[in-house]
């Protein structure tokens, strides 16, 4: 065989699956889930069978397969099985509407769809509108018979050989896509390469979390998110540890039960969940055993310092807040186990570079707010079919995160908000995040989001949308009390001139507050 022109072979499935069997870990549990456990040996067999399954139905290198799957062993079989055969898996959110799946399938041009039966039942009527789709593989849940022309995942899997020889993929080949959460506009297909998971694991999981084969991970973020994909799958597998898969929708009760039942050592959460778990623990009056956990992490949005302090008070555990993105695959700035500065995102993760720049791209000195740009080898290859957005987002080796930050003299990065969310009040830039964090210290407030509103004088003023804790009643007196509370803790010009109490804040599936929808409310 003439291998000229082919780079040194590299396949991410070999790195995260085969390398765990070689040292004799085939009998160690890799996956815990509601139905039982999966060892590393069985995991390798199932990944190989999935690769053979995709090859049997005619998929070839660089074809794409959409995965619409709950957190389960089938997700991991499908993801790494696709990568093993050079096919590109694209996990997508299981909580979307039918038209969203039509967009994902047609935008990605996926030739195959692997989907749980209950989810397929919601979109089967649109089958003729999926222009490029050739094969539907349904993960049966015993709800009913698999329809004619639809393949049964388990039956097809069981018929396959457990041996598979990966094709000649290389280090810089496309490996998988993730769709951005789409806080504004349509979600974007983010193209990640074969090496990105290993780079992210070596940089963050090993150097910041100090993850080892003794760790057992529980991620509240689902596997179809970049944060969940790392914390719930490729971090524990890459460290030769174990992961806990929770199929159900994340709630405080389910998370507390999972922690007590499965005894994780690392818990990957998000700010809104930490806040909800704190309230649940206080309102229920129950005690929960979190003693197995050695560290918690948070990402998705900036962690309010009040949440970190209360979590430590209730459970004696630190939360390592950090920032990551779908484009960077996982966290690139983070607090450390022995180096936490509450309210900050921490310091740059080893293996990455970061700087704060002005609109002309000039690096700013400490304590000046600007745009956060980063570089590192886990950053995506770009967006699928988005030429203009690629030019704006990927600038040479730098990724423009779209976040406003400043860095202090000690190297800690401080989040100020998304670029579009910053407010200029009285000619001075104001961070909505700073006001929100202050509001969350008020004993009556569960959640808060601050946006700019233009008053009758055509001046921008801070407006706060507030979700109150249970059994707290909105009133004019409470509104004035909240405003006075902020005046006493922040510079006076930062207090919210208008407060609107609301039942819930609009969020993306990752828990990020959609401030643009709150701005739309003001004009509706």
Is it the case that residue 16 has pLDDT exceeding 50? Answer: yes
Angle at 33 (CA atoms; ends 32, 38), nearest 5 degrees: 50
Residue 483: CB atoms within 10 Å = 16
In this structure, are 361 and 333 located in the same domain?
Answer: yes
pLDDT digits (tens, 9 = 90+) for 435-449: 998 999 999 999 999
Q: Which two tokens stand for residue 102?
A: 């039509």
Give the position of tokens 């998971």.
197
pLDDT digits (tens, 9 = 90+) for 343-359: 999 999 999 999 999 98
Could you tell me if residue 1 is inside a domain? no
From first CA to last CA, the distance across the chain in angstroms is 66
Count Cα atoms within 13 angstroms, Cβ side, for 350.
11
Quote the CA–CA distance of 272 and 250 in Å, as a whole number.
11
pLDDT average, residue stretch 254-271: 96
pLDDT digits (tens, 9 = 90+) for 99-157: 899 999 999 999 999 999 999 999 999 999 999 999 999 998 764 455 667 999 999 99
Quote the CA–CA distance of 483 and 494 in Å, as a whole number.
10
Q: CB-based burial of residue 206 (10 Å sphere; 0-12 exposed, 13-18 middle, 19+ buried)? A: middle
CATH number at residue 396: 3.40.50.12780
What's the domain count of the chain? 3
Angstrom distances, CA of residue 251 to CA of 18, 36, 68, 507 = 34, 21, 21, 15
- pTM of the entire structure? 0.85
In this structure, are 142 and 237 located in the same domain?
Answer: no
Quote the CA–CA distance of 142 and 301 in Å, as a whole number.
38
In this structure, are 281 and 356 located in the same domain?
Answer: yes
Beta bridge partners of 65: 89, 112
SS3 55: helix
Q: Which of 368, 390, 418 is the last residue of a domain?
A: 418
Could you tell me if residue 3 is inside a domain? no
Q: pLDDT band at residue 207, thresholds of 50, 70 and 90?
A: very high
Could you tell me if residue 4 is inside a domain? no
Angle at 482 (CA atoms; ends 478, 483), nearest 5 degrees: 120
Q: pLDDT band at residue 524, thresholds of 50, 70 and 90?
A: low
Please give the helix or strand (H or E) that residue 445 lies within, else none: strand 445-454
Could you tell me if residue 119 is inside a domain? yes
Quote the CA–CA distance of 406 and 434 in Å, as a whole number.
13
In this structure, are 239 and 119 located in the same domain?
Answer: no
Q: pLDDT band at residue 3, thresholds of 50, 70 and 90?
A: very low
pLDDT at 261: 96
Quote the CA–CA distance of 195 and 343 in Å, as a whole number.
32
CATH number at residue 101: 3.40.50.980
Please give the helix or strand (H or E) that residue 31 lies within, else none: strand 29-33
Q: Which two tokens stand for residue 281?
A: 């623990």
What residues make up the domain containing 91? 12-193
Quote the CA–CA distance of 503 and 472 in Å, as a whole number.
12
In this structure, are 261 and 393 located in the same domain?
Answer: yes
Angstrom distances, CA of residue 102 to CA of 69, 92, 137, 149, 462 = 16, 12, 16, 19, 38
In this structure, are 158 and 72 located in the same domain?
Answer: yes
Structure-model confidence comparison of residues 515 and 243, the more confident one: 243
Could you tell me if residue 5 is inside a domain? no
Q: pLDDT band at residue 312, thresholds of 50, 70 and 90?
A: very high
SS3 322: strand
In this structure, are 151 and 17 located in the same domain?
Answer: yes
SS3 350: coil
CATH number at residue 469: 3.30.300.30
Angstrom distances, CA of residue 452 to CA of 10, 63, 478 = 49, 45, 21
In this structure, are 408 and 443 located in the same domain?
Answer: no
Residue 354: CB atoms within 10 Å = 23
Q: Which two tokens stand for residue 19?
A: 């390398």
Quote the CA–CA distance of 426 and 132 in Å, as a whole number.
53
Could you tell me if residue 292 is inside a domain? yes
In this structure, are 370 and 353 located in the same domain?
Answer: yes
Ordered DSSP codes for 393-421: HEETTEEEEEEEEEE-TTS-EEEEEEGGG
Sign of the alpha-carbon dihedral angle for 393, 396, 399, 400: negative
Ordered DSSP codes for 123-139: HGGGGGG-TT--EEEEE
Could you tell me if residue 438 is inside a domain? yes
Could you tell me if residue 2 is inside a domain? no
pLDDT digits (tens, 9 = 90+) for 387-405: 999 998 999 999 999 888 9
Q: Which two tokens stand for residue 45?
A: 């067999």
Please give the helix or strand (H or E) that residue 106 lies within, else none: helix 98-108
Q: Which two tokens stand for residue 456?
A: 């009758």
Q: Which of 151, 178, 193 is the last residue of a domain?
A: 193
In this structure, are 348 and 232 located in the same domain?
Answer: yes
pLDDT at 425: 75
In this structure, are 446 and 428 located in the same domain?
Answer: yes
In this structure, are 325 and 250 located in the same domain?
Answer: yes
Exposure class string for 507-521: b at 16+ Cβ within 10 A, else e: bbebbbbbbebbeee
Contact 264, 217 (CB under 8 A): yes
Contact 465, 502 (CB under 8 A): yes
Q: Which of 418, 448, 469 is the last residue of a domain?
A: 418
pLDDT at 457: 62
Question: Which H, E and C letters describe 152-175, residue by residue?
Answer: EHHHHHHCCCCCCCCCCCECCCEE
Backbone φ, ψ for residue 139 (5° rounding): -85, 105
Give the position of tokens 């004035």.
480
């Amino acid at each position: 065989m003439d291998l000229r022109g082919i780079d040194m072979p590299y396949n991410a499935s070999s790195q995260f699956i085969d390398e765990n069997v070689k040292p004799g870990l085939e009998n160690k549990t890799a996956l815990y889930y509601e139905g039982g456990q999966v060892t590393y040996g069985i995991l390798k067999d199932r990944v190989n069978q999935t690769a053979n399954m995709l090859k049997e139905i005619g998929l070839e290198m660089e074809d794409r397969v959409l995965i619409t799957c709950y957190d389960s062993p089938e997700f991991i079989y499908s993801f790494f099985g696709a990568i093993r055969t050079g096919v590109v898996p694209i996990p997508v959110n299981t909580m979307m509407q039918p038209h969203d799946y039509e967009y994902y399938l047609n935008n990605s041009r996926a030739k195959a769809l692997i989907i749980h039966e209950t989810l397929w039942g919601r979109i089967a009527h649109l089958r003729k509108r999926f222009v490029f789709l050739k094969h539907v593989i349904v993960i049966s849940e015993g709800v009913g018979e698999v329809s004619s022309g639809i393949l049964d995942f388990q039956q097809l899997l069981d018929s396959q050989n457990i041996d598979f020889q990966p094709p000649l993929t290389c280090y810089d080949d496309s490996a998988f896509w993730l769709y951005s959460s789409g806080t504004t506009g349509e979600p974007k297909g983010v193209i990640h390469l074969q090496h990105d998971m290993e780079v992210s694991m070596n940089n963050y999981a090993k150097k910041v979390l100090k993850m080892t084969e003794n760790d057992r991970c529980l991620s509240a973020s689902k596997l179809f998110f970049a944060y969940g994909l790392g914390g719930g799958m490729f971090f524990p597998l890459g460290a030769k540890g174990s992961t806990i898969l929770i199929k159900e929708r994340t709630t405080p009760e389910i998370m507390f039960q999972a922690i007590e039942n499965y005894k994780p050592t690392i818990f990957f959460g998000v700010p809104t969940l930490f806040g909800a778990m704190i309230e649940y623990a206080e309102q229920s009056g129950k005690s929960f055993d979190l003693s197995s956990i050695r560290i918690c992490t948070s990402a998705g949005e900036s962690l309010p310092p009040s949440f970190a302090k209360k979590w430590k008070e209730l459970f004696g555990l630190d939360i390592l807040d950090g920032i990551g993105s779908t484009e960077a695959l996982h966290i690139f700035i983070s607090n450390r186990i022995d180096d936490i500065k509450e309210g900050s995102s921490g310091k740059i993760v080893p293996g990455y570079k970061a700087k704060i720049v002005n609109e002309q791209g000039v690096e700013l000195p400490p304590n000046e707010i600007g745009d956060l740009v980063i570089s590192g080898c886990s950053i995506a290859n770009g967006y699928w079919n988005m030429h203009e957005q690629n030019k704006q987002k990927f600038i040479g080796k730098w990724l423009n995160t779209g976040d406003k930050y400043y860095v202090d003299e000690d190297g800690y990065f401080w989040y100020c908000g998304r670029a579009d969310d910053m407010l200029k009040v009285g000619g001075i830039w104001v961070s909505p995040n700073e006001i929100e964090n202050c509001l969350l210290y008020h004993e009556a407030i569960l959640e808060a989001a601050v946006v700019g509103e233009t008053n009758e004088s055509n001046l921008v003023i801070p407006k706060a949308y507030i979700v109150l804790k249970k059994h707290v009643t909105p009133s004019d007196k409470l509104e004035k009390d909240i405003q006075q509370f902020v005046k006493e803790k922040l510079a006076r010009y930062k207090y919210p001139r208008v407060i609107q109490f609301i039942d819930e804040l609009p969020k993306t599936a990752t828990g990020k507050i959609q401030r643009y929808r709150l701005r739309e409310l003001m004009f509706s």
